[in-house]
Structure formats: structure tokens, C-alpha cells
């Protein structure tokens, strides 16, 4: 079985929109998180996303299930890239369909906030010179010496 929530390939927003389509939804909200070329610690060319696949899949499925119990929410899909994602490409997409816009906006925001808190995904900044640093810390990753 292939992963439902993780992808090493570019994400397909059209497929997620089609998968969540339904005639009862009055609102669809999409959040797409792209890799920025400029971070507080400097320029980057990509992010390397490392993941514990089993834990991440279960956590993302749980977030989707939980959000579906929210009033008015009809469909939720969250997909995150893994591996190297170049600057300018999309790393995560959350699609929420609900009866009304407020419900859709609130559930979409909760989906990303929960992903950041609960899902076993880590990122590493890749610098133009090839140096790799743990994101948000600037701590370099060095290859072990022989």
C-alpha cells in the first residue's frame, strides 16, 4: 500500500480537489506551504524533509478524522512532501471542504497547526554551498569523520 499522506513527488492540488469534491460543500479552503529561498539564517536552495513514515501517516490520518468531526466540515486531505524539496516548490497542501467558509478556514488552519505539533516530520536547510543545517536552529550537520 502506498502512503496516502506522504509523497516524494511534487504534490498534485488538482487531484486533491477532485478527491474532496462534493455537492454539499459551500466552501473550499486550500493551504499550500512552499519552500522559501530565504530563511532567517540565510539563503537556501532546498529543504530536506525526513520523516518516520508510519508515525507520520497515522498522525495525518488522525488529524483528518478529527477535523471531519468539526461542525460543517465535509472533507479534509493533507499531503506532505518528503525528501529534497527545492525552493519554490510546494511542501505541504491541506484541502478542507465545508458547508460554510468560516468552518473551512478554521479547520484548514487547525490542520496545519496540528501537523506542525503532532507529525514526525523534520526539515534540514540546504545552503547554496551544499552545507546542511537543522532548520530554525542554524546548527550545521556534519558528516561523521572516518
Torsion of CA 58, 60, 106, 28, to 10 degrees: -120
Q: What is the pLDDT of residues 65-89, one digit of tens each?
A: 999 999 999 999 999 999 999 999 9
pLDDT at 138 over 70: no
Q: Which of the 8 DSSP states describes residue 80? A: E
pLDDT at 28 over 80: yes
What angle is formed at CA 84 by the lines to CA 78 and CA 88, rounded to 5 degrees?
75
pLDDT at 137 over 70: no
pTM: 0.90
Amino acid at each position: 500500500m502506498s502512503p496516502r499522506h506522504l509523497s516524494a513527488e511534487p504534490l498534485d492540488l488538482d487531484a486533491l480537489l477532485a478527491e474532496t469534491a462534493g455537492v454539499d460543500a459551500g466552501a473550499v479552503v486550500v493551504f499550500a506551504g512552499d519552500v522559501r529561498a530565504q530563511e532567517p539564517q540565510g539563503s537556501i536552495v532546498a529543504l530536506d524533509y525526513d520523516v518516520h513514515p508510519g508515525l507520520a501517516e497515522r498522525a495525518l490520518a488522525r488529524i483528518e478524522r478529527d477535523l471531519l468531526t468539526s461542525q460543517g466540515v465535509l472533507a479534509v486531505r493533507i499531503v506532505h512532501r518528503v525528501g529534497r524539496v527545492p525552493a519554490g516548490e510546494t511542501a505541504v497542501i491541506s484541502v478542507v471542504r465545508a458547508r460554510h467558509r468560516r468552518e473551512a478556514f478554521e479547520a484548514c488552519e487547525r490542520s496545519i497547526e496540528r501537523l506542525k505539533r503532532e507529525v514526525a516530520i523534520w526539515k534540514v536547510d540546504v545552503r547554496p554551498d551544499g552545507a546542511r543545517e537543522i532548520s530554525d536552529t542554524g546548527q550545521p550537520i556534519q558528516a561523521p569523520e572516518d
